[in-house]
Amino acid sequence: MADTAIADPEMRQEFYDPPDMLSQKVDRLAEMVRQSQHMIAFTGAGISTSAGIPDFRGPDGKWTRKADGLEPLKGVTCVEAYPTSTHMALVEMLDRKILKYLISQNCDGLHRRSGVPAQSISELHGNGWVEICEDCGLQHFRDFVCTRLTRPGGPKCPADHFTGRFCGCGGRLLNSTIDFGQSLPEVPLERAQQHSRKADLHLALGSSLRVRPACDQPATTANKGGKLVIVNLQKTPLDDLATLRIFAKTDTVIEMLMSRLMIPIPAFRLQRRVLVCRNNSGNLWQAKAVDAHDPTIEMSHICAVDWNKQGLPSKALENANLAICNSRGGHKYKAKLARQSVDLKLYFMGHYHEPPLDLQVDLSNAMLADIRLSFDPYSMQWFTTSQELLAVSQLQAPADAAQIPDYGQSHRKYCIDAVMKHRKCNSENAAEIVNQRVASSKEEASATARKMGRQQ
């Protein structure tokens, strides 16, 4: 919001350490990383500016410009943006167990798209590409923005985050981004607090460190005796707590740090995971995309499948994309095939202009193929990194499932509070109004899904 913009001109100003000073500071940071036993990182919008996504409180940030009566700068859409070298370095350090946990204020989805598992990050302000089940708390990472359900003339209920889609358990799926004034879900915040208390090194990257309770996490580490390193072009309210203060762009610092640690920064690759399975008789096949880290979570990456070069029905891609964005399903495809091996052509959402992919799957000796794919957006090539034949029972969710079980309860309280404020009623009456709205929204969304099912 514009009223959260930095008012002090000095605090708005950006600073740059001279090259020799910057080099010395990164040398010191590298030594801290080598000595750390529990290093965590905290990221803000500043790590995504080099991807073409404007920040909020920089000199040309969204809230800064609005406070000055200016229109926000236009950037690339988040779903088309490439993760930066900072994003990819953090993934590599997580993979190598150098970085133990990641805390982020960002809603742009780039951390998850870069390859960070849901179990390794607290996205404190939500994620515009993630839906959370109101009932079971399961997260669903999407290939499209998870907008809230609206009706002509405006939002159905500004506080209600329902997207019009449903979880496999039947619960409503909710947009996960947190509104100003909305409480943060407890589970991500508790995990962030636990790691912040345990951390001996907390690396804050590209954040103004002004929004609570998110910014309390780096402060917690410092107050517990851990080292706090802040990398940001502007001064922050936590500068006095920092062991090391670096004024430079995050990509510059991270690239220098990784060089000193002798760790290469991997290039961004779009990771996809596809399950192809058949029934016992082999005459019914299914192909579906799943989360790269949890095969029990269906994803929206596939928008159409051509089985055995039979071709796609008219408008199949158009209808599939519409179904994915507006209904209960649309990203699972079945076919009746009297054989035990198939040729598939998979069509994807295509935000990185990825072409269709041809696959051959032989299930004559298994019921399921677990296929890992990687897409290089620079060379525009697909690679099959693995294809494992399994029994369906061998698919297991991670021990630390990607669930936020209290999100539905927190969201319900937020909706009730909003109704109490606007209707000036008590909590019981507000709860009844919210109950009616939930029931109505579920019925309308189900009716839309049934209608779209008939149209395809």
H/E stretch holding 362: strand 357-362
Position 407 scores a pLDDT of 92
H/E stretch holding 193: helix 186-198
- For residues 448 and 453, what is the distance between their CA atoms, to the nearest angstrom? 9
Q: Count CB atoms within 10 A of the CB of residue 358.
A: 12
Position 140 scores a pLDDT of 86
The pTM of this model reads: 0.85
Position 333 scores a pLDDT of 58
Buried b (16+ CB within 10 A) or exposed e, 101-129: bbbbbbbbbbbbbbbbbbebbbbbbbbbb
DSSP state of 454: H
Q: Are 226 and 244 in contact (CB under 8 A)?
A: no
Position 3 scores a pLDDT of 42
Show the tokens assigned to 92: 């590599």
Q: Count CB atoms within 10 A of the CB of residue 305.
A: 25
DSSP state of 138: B
Rounded average pLDDT per 10-residue block, the chain, 456 residues: 50 89 98 98 94 61 48 62 96 98 95 92 92 91 81 61 89 91 89 97 96 94 98 96 98 98 96 90 82 84 85 62 44 66 88 92 91 95 94 78 86 93 92 93 82 54
Q: What is the CA radius of gyration of the chain?
A: 23
Q: Which candidate, 286, 284, 309, places its Cα nearest to that of 298?
A: 286
Q: How many residues does the chain have?
A: 456
- For residues 357 and 384, what is the distance between their CA atoms, to the nearest angstrom? 10
How, if at all, do strands 244-246 and 227-231 pair? parallel
Q: Which residues are tagged catalytic?
A: 125
* HSE-up of residue 14 (Cα within 13 Å, Cβ side): 14
